[in-house]
Amino acid sequence: MVGITAYGGYVPRRRLPRSVILENVSWFNGGLKAYSKGERSMCNWDEDALTMAVEASRDCLDKARPDDIKAIYLASTTLPFTDRQNSGILGTALNLGQNMMTMDITSSQRAATSGLINALSVAKGTGGSALFATGEHRRSQTANTNELMFGDGGAALLLGNDDVVAEFVGAGQVAVDFVDHYRGQNADFDYNWEERWIRDEGYMKIVPGGVQAALDETGLSADDIDHFVMPGTIRNIAGMVAKACGIKPEAARDNLHNVMGESGTSHALVMLVDCLQDAKPGETIMVIGWGQGCDALVFRTTDKLSTMSNRKGIKGHLAHRKEEGNYNKFLAFNNLVEQDGGLRSETDKQTALTTLYRNKEMVIGFVGGKCEQCGTVQYPKARICVNPNCGAINTQEDHRMSETSAMIQSWTADNLTYAPDPPHHFGMVTFGEGGRMMADFTDVDEGGVAVGDEFRMVFRIKAADEKRNFNKYFWKAAPKI
């Protein structure tokens, strides 16, 4: 049977209370006070849809790299590259090899659920595994309801035919060009239509058709649904739809609005991962994807679900939070204000694409070397072993540095070097299996770093070449969760 064999999730550490946003914008739009409760997740300046998908995938794979992964799918409407395959970068960062299909799926809020239905079909047909990941980082205008409702996050699912934790039972789909919002080709922000019309003419009339199609496909009744996973920023919309479809009210899952906001394309799978962390074997889950129609996917959990207990998932990342009280920092991180970065920020950041290609495993995959003769690990990989007692030539095999713990050997916090979030923290880190390097730090608090601290390596934006619209990615050290 085909289904989900592993899951993972990611939510950025920073959380911006909605009350902080309102302190700054309610003078202009007093009606926003109705959305004052809770907080939204907020990307650090060096995070985007791709980096969140990488972190969710690492959580999903949990240091394991199945050798039968034949496809990588990445769903998002905010991918960093319009014409460069983002899923290919994801695969390189995860060191999953080259003999596979990679595909980006976009242009709709239900890109993740529609893509997942197709990915499950492919996995069933090929007999191998497939990685399905998603990440979303939407920007919004200030004093707009989206600013309060949106949140950043990602999720990942490993799909296969053996040892599934949630069997795919079937799905129903409805396609209709109902435009509740849109973002044009060169637009920076979504344009939304009236909420009551979206609720009454959209959700309440379209979603029940998708639910019924899924029930007909699977032979289930509405009463068989134990968990009803449906995103939506309209208050209690999931409960209203569940009632209209005959699904028991207690099945409607919390949409996580109060703790992270709505993560767009990712949110159906973010909620699914959160649901799987609560579910028990033998339960039936229906997942709704909304956007120019409706997807309704049905899964049934198995006894293998207990093997996923070591994942951080969504719950673990939600617990790992830092409250951000600086609204101006939120604006700056999302490029909503024009800042003077000073002379040091004006250095040309062009990437030599030939060099990046030749060193992609080292830079994107963070692959070092391990000497076959003496076992010494080093980064970067080189022809000659750095061990002075060895010095062997051409004996180094590939060694993934990203999955080993890193300890702070020395550090500094520099206010002279340009950093979007000063001061710039960096220093020497040593790896648990050997090797060391100078690394940038991220997600650290000023004064919160000490020699001997155990860190982990994370895939982040190293710098943004705004002149050429090119993000440079590399690995940084971050506090261990």
CA angle 259, 260, 261 (to 5 degrees): 115
Q: What is the mean pLDDT of residues 234-238?
A: 96
Find out whether 86 and 364 touch, Cβ atoms under 8 Å: no
Q: Is the pLDDT of residue 152 over 90?
A: yes
Q: Is the pLDDT of residue 126 over 90?
A: no
416-442 in b/e form (b: 16+ CB < 10 A) is: eebbbbeebbbbbbebeebbebebbbb
Largest Cα span, the chain: 75
For residue 284, list its beta bridge partners: 300
Spatial distance between the Cα atoms of 338 and 74, rounded to a whole number of angstroms: 31
The owner of tokens 């506090």 is 479
The owner of tokens 């939407």 is 138
The owner of tokens 């699912």 is 157
Q: What is the mean pLDDT of residues 294-317?
A: 95
Three-state SS for 107?
Answer: coil
Enumerate the H helices of 279-386 as residue ranges.
313-319, 327-333, 353-358, 360-363
- pLDDT at position 127, please? 87
Q: Domain 351-366+401-479 belongs to what topology?
A: OB fold (Dihydrolipoamide Acetyltransferase, E2P) (2.40.50)
The owner of tokens 């983002």 is 86
Three-state SS for 228?
Answer: strand
pLDDT tens track for 192-234: 999 999 999 999 999 999 999 999 999 999 999 999 999 999 9
Q: Is 417 left (phi over 0), alpha (psi -120 to 50) or beta?
A: beta
Please give the share of the chain, as a percent, with pLDDT higher than 70. 100
User: What is the pLDDT confidence band of residue 254, given thresholds at 50, 70 and 90?
Assistant: very high
- pLDDT at position 310, please? 83
- pLDDT at position 230, please? 98
Q: Name the token pair of 140.
A: 């919004």
pLDDT tens track for 140-150: 999 999 999 99
What's the order of all strands across the beta sheet hosting 293-301? 101-105, 69-75, 129-136, 153-160, 3-10, 166-175, 293-301, 284-290, 227-229
- pLDDT at position 342, please? 87
- pLDDT at position 344, please? 83
User: What is the pLDDT confidence band of residue 259, given thresholds at 50, 70 and 90?
Assistant: very high
- pLDDT at position 415, please? 92
Tell me the torsion sign for CA atoms 16, 20, 24, 29: positive
- pLDDT at position 363, please? 97
User: What is the pLDDT confidence band of residue 309, given thresholds at 50, 70 and 90?
Assistant: confident
Q: Is the pLDDT of residue 317 over 80?
A: yes
End-to-end CA, the chain: 34
Find out whether 133 and 56 touch, Cβ atoms under 8 Å: yes
- Tell me whether domains 3-333 and 351-366+401-479 share a fold: no
* Closest listed residue to residue 272, CA positions, set 258, 285, 291: 285
Domain parsing of the chain, residue ranges = 3-333, 351-366+401-479
Q: Does domain 3-333 have CATH number 3.40.47.10?
A: yes
User: What is the pLDDT confidence band of residue 70, given thresholds at 50, 70 and 90?
Assistant: very high
User: What is the pLDDT confidence band of residue 481, given thresholds at 50, 70 and 90?
Assistant: confident
CA angle 83, 84, 85 (to 5 degrees): 120
C-alpha distances out from residue 45 to 30, 334, 471, Å: 29, 7, 12
Find out whether 209 and 334 touch, Cβ atoms under 8 Å: no
User: What is the pLDDT confidence band of residue 65, given thresholds at 50, 70 and 90?
Assistant: confident
C-alpha distances out from residue 43 to 40, 201, 243, 273, 324, Å: 10, 33, 35, 20, 11
More confident residue, 339 or 18: 18
- pLDDT at position 187, please? 95
Three-state SS for 366?
Answer: coil
- pLDDT at position 245, please? 98
* Closest listed residue to residue 76, CA positions, set 101, 56, 117, 104: 104
Q: Is the pLDDT of residue 120 over 90?
A: yes
- pLDDT at position 253, please? 98
Three-state helix/strand/coil letters over 10-79: ECCCEEEEHHHHHHHHCCCCHHHHHHCCCEEEECCCCCCHHHHHHHHHHHHHCCCCCCCEEEEEEECCCC
C-alpha distances out from residue 91 to 95, 123, 128, Å: 6, 17, 16
- pLDDT at position 444, please? 96
Find out whether 313 and 273 touch, Cβ atoms under 8 Å: yes
pLDDT tens track for 423-460: 999 999 999 999 999 999 999 999 899 999 999 999 99
Q: Is the pLDDT of residue 112 over 90?
A: yes
Q: Which amino acid is at 262?
A: E
pTM of the shown model: 0.97
Helix (H) or strand (E) holding 218: helix 204-218
Q: Is the pLDDT of residue 324 over 80?
A: yes
Q: What is the mean pLDDT of residues 67-73?
A: 92
Q: Is the pLDDT of residue 62 over 90?
A: no
pLDDT tens track for 41-51: 999 999 999 99
Mean pLDDT (the chain) is 96
* Closest listed residue to residue 129, CA positions, set 174, 175, 176, 97: 97
333-368 in b/e form (b: 16+ CB < 10 A) is: bbebeeeeeeeeeeeebebeeeeeeeeebbbbbbbb
pLDDT tens track for 73-108: 999 999 999 999 999 999 999 999 999 999 999 999
Spatial distance between the Cα atoms of 199 and 193, rounded to a whole number of angstroms: 11
More confident residue, 107 or 309: 107
